[in-house]
Chain A
């Protein structure tokens, strides 16, 4: 066995520092000290390699994948607990616990409802048909306080398909019956979500839908609603929830900002090119980083530098703090020339357009945030973990548009799966790793 660092002159204290370095817990000065020792002491390098290898082996441990059954049984168990609590007279607030029963009912009704929609058509489903235009854009209606709001968000009509002519109930019935099973199930889930809303909110949504129907420009408004719905579906549940909590004015501002950010976002290939360029430039600036023997560690250190840079409100480009005793080096035109070459035409145009230093800095920091910031992968090393095939399949079927699906299907299988996972994590982010797309309507 190799002599451990803790057994040598360094003792436990150095080992703690060393492990903290591996965990990305040291500040820049302490990390530089470790890096200096790494660069000149082979034993320290060996130690680092072994600790990291042992840590990497933990990736072999299986990770649980739970399905809806677990969720349902947990919710049912909680519903029973709620019921028991509600029966206790000494608990005056227990009446509020009824919502847990609603969730349990919802979970069970989803399974039953699918069978009803698929195999039969009892009169009870007439309300579902009446609510069909509302259900098909439920998220957008939930996030629309008034018709005026829709006019203020009229840009959503661009690129949105013109909406079908008004249907009567029998036409709606024919259309629903011809839906694919997945579409029926989704419709039923939305119906159940509508039914668990408060009576006032249900009435508001139905009234809004009727108001749109009566408007002289109903067709245009429905296009706005459909475009809005499509846009909302691209957001994560948490982002939708955040939007929902804003008042009309703030919500419109947030929508405008989000759309502007999306226009500036790099595609997957440009994001990779940008990350490669950034890391290569950083290594040129910080030779100590280049001396770190393992690529994974080097990247972790780079990520740490970038994360602390992005966390600062006065972030100035370039992010790399100068090594001690050295002047902070600016990144010159030649650096940007190599970036320019690596980018697609679209991203290159964005870079060229941001000609002024401030504009360019804002653009580059935005890209940096996209590539390294929250939602871009965080410290999670293997983005394939915790993502079931079933969830990926749902994501592919429900959240991608036709063009994205066609592009993925044209790729070799392994490449397609890799890119699909990347897309999933780009939209759902590490903090949202286990969210089921479209699971929540708010």
Chain B
């Protein structure tokens, strides 16, 4: 996309990370290291919940940084830096999924009815109701339930939820990162949040809160 000089300047003005990336483009190694330090944990967090495995998430994050590095000389600010980075992350994650499918690996990622396969929502609900003891769930159990709930979403829903929740991106930015319109993101997130509410409903109705951790 061709960008005017003024829009490039605008992004550089409002986003300090764009300015850092422009320094990377001009050959600053320190700026690249700084960007990595700023984003590596955030990136791995999103990727881990997207693909479900920490090790794979770290590998993918390294791939994302490598792509950033390789693209540096062509870099022109067309969005916030985080939007650009997560656009790359989304592409890397999709490619990884395609490769896995080609290798016919057993995929642990469940998917919601729709784009990526059969819905395990009922399974999830059964699991949840099976885990509904009279006692309160402890922190680890609740975390697992939430992981399971996230896993019931389609990949696109999951990515949108993670970018909204952890990166606090606007619909427009999520749309830019996922190559969708803001209106499509609005619908996607609406369905995703409804699915999450359904999956987690037993816990909400009971007002379950994690029991305090015993040291």
Enumerate chain A interface residues (CB-CB to B < 8 A).
Answer: 1, 4, 6, 12, 15-16, 18-20, 22-23, 25, 50-51, 53-55, 57-58, 60-66, 70-71, 73-75, 77-78, 81-82, 93, 96, 99-100, 102-103, 106, 193, 196, 236-239, 241-242, 245, 378-380, 386, 431-436, 439-442
Tell me if B197 and A50 are in contact (CB < 8 A): yes
User: Which residues of A lie under 8 Å from residue B49 when comparing CB positions?
Assistant: 61
| Chain A residue at minimum C-beta to C-beta distance from B24 | A99
Tell me if B38 and A434 are in contact (CB < 8 A): yes
Known: A23-B171, A51-B193, A440-B30. A242 touches B19 (CB 8 A): yes
| Chain B residue at minimum C-beta to C-beta distance from A78 | B69
- B116 interface residue per 8 A CB criterion: no
| Chain A residue at minimum C-beta to C-beta distance from B161 | A58
| Chain A residue at minimum C-beta to C-beta distance from B46 | A64
User: Which residues of A lie under 8 Å from residue B193 when comparing CB positions?
Assistant: 19, 22, 51, 54-55
Residues 107 to 166 of chain B near chain A (Cβ within 8 Å): 139, 142-143, 146-147, 149-150, 161, 164-166
B39-55: contact bitstring with A at CB < 8 Å (1 yes, 0 no)? 11110110011000010
List the one stretch of B2-10, B85-93, B98-106, B200-208 in contact with chain A: B200-208
Tell me if B27 and A99 are in contact (CB < 8 A): yes
Cα-based distance from A57 to B149 in the complex (angstroms): 10
Further pairs besides A60-B142, A236-B16, A439-B34: 15, Cβ < 8 Å = A50-B201, A50-B204, A51-B197, A57-B142, A57-B146, A57-B200, A74-B36, A77-B62, A99-B28, A241-B20, A432-B38, A434-B37, A434-B39, A435-B37, A440-B31
User: Which residues of A lie under 8 Å from residue B61 when comparing CB positions?
Assistant: 74
| Chain A residue at minimum C-beta to C-beta distance from B44 | A64
Tell me if A241 and B23 are in contact (CB < 8 A): yes
Cα-based distance from A420 to B73 in the complex (angstroms): 39
Give, as a whole number of angstroms, the nearest-CB distance from B13 to chain A: 9
User: Which residues of B lie under 8 Å from residue A96 when comparing CB positions?
Assistant: 27
Cβ contact of A61, chosen from B66, B146, B164, B197, cutoff 8 A: B146
- B57 interface residue per 8 A CB criterion: yes
User: Which residues of B lie under 8 Å from residue A442 when comparing CB positions?
Assistant: 23, 28, 30-31
Tell me if A431 and B28 are in contact (CB < 8 A): no
- B194 interface residue per 8 A CB criterion: yes
- B178 interface residue per 8 A CB criterion: no
Known: A23-B164, A74-B40. A431 touches B17 (CB 8 A): yes
User: Which residues of A lie under 8 Å from residue B42 when comparing CB positions?
Assistant: 386, 433-434
Cα-based distance from A54 to B170 in the complex (angstroms): 19
Cα-based distance from A238 to B19 in the complex (angstroms): 8
Known: A242-B16, A434-B37. A54 touches B200 (CB 8 A): yes
User: Which residues of B lie under 8 Å from residue A18 when comparing CB positions?
Assistant: 190
For the residues of A in contact with B, the DSSP-based class is: helix
Cα-based distance from A61 to B147 in the complex (angstroms): 7
Cβ contact of A58, chosen from B40, B73, B146, cutoff 8 A: B146
Tell me if A6 and B194 are in contact (CB < 8 A): yes
Known: A431-B16, A435-B38. A53 touches B204 (CB 8 A): yes
Tell me if B165 and A19 are in contact (CB < 8 A): no
User: Which residues of A lie under 8 Å from residue B179 when comparing CB positions?
Assistant: none
- B29 interface residue per 8 A CB criterion: yes
Cα-based distance from A53 to B29 in the complex (angstroms): 43
Enumerate chain B interface residues (CB-CB to A < 8 A).
Answer: 15-17, 19-20, 23, 27-34, 36-42, 44-45, 48-49, 54, 57-58, 61-62, 65-66, 69-70, 73, 139, 142-143, 146-147, 149-150, 161, 164-166, 168, 170-171, 186-187, 189-190, 193-194, 196-201, 203-204, 210
Cα-based distance from A410 to B159 in the complex (angstroms): 44
Cα-based distance from A74 to B32 in the complex (angstroms): 11
Tell me if B29 and A102 are in contact (CB < 8 A): yes
Tell me if A77 and B204 are in contact (CB < 8 A): no
Known: A75-B36, A103-B33. A54 touches B186 (CB 8 A): no
| Chain A residue at minimum C-beta to C-beta distance from B18 | A238
Tell me if A4 and B194 are in contact (CB < 8 A): yes
Tell me if A64 and B171 are in contact (CB < 8 A): no
User: Which residues of B lie under 8 Å from residue A20 when comparing CB positions?
Assistant: 171, 186, 190
Cα-based distance from A407 to B100 in the complex (angstroms): 55
Tell me if B33 and A75 are in contact (CB < 8 A): yes
Best-surrounded residue of B39, B62, B150 (most CB of chain A within 10 A): B62
Which 4 residue pairs of A and B lie closest in terms of their CB atoms, listed nearest first?
A: A238-B16, A64-B44, A103-B29, A16-B190
Tell me if A60 and B16 are in contact (CB < 8 A): no
Tell me if B29 and A434 are in contact (CB < 8 A): no
Give, as a whole number of angstroms, the nearest-CB distance from B46 to chain A: 9
User: Which residues of A lie under 8 Å from residue B164 when comparing CB positions?
Assistant: 23
| Chain A residue at minimum C-beta to C-beta distance from B81 | A431
Give, as a whole number of angstroms, the nearest-CB distance from B189 to chain A: 6
Cα-based distance from A55 to B198 in the complex (angstroms): 12
Give, as a whole number of angstroms, the nearest-CB distance from A170 to chain B: 32
Cα-based distance from A348 to B155 in the complex (angstroms): 53
Cβ contact of A71, chosen from B36, B45, B197, cutoff 8 A: B36
Cα-based distance from A16 to B191 in the complex (angstroms): 8
Tell me if A60 and B200 are in contact (CB < 8 A): no
Tell me if B57 and A64 are in contact (CB < 8 A): yes
Tell me if B186 and A16 are in contact (CB < 8 A): yes
Tell me if B45 and A193 are in contact (CB < 8 A): no
| Chain A residue at minimum C-beta to C-beta distance from B15 | A431
Cβ contact of B190, chosen from A19, A64, A433, A434, cutoff 8 A: A19
User: Which residues of A lie under 8 Å from residue B199 when comparing CB positions?
Assistant: 54
Please list 20 pairs of residues, one from A and one from B, whose beta carbons are closer than 8 Å in the complex, sorted by A's number: A4-B198, A6-B194, A15-B194, A50-B197, A51-B194, A53-B200, A54-B149, A55-B165, A57-B200, A58-B196, A60-B139, A66-B41, A71-B36, A74-B40, A77-B66, A78-B69, A100-B29, A378-B168, A442-B30, A442-B31
User: Which residues of A lie under 8 Å from residue B33 when comparing CB positions?
Assistant: 71, 75, 103, 439-440
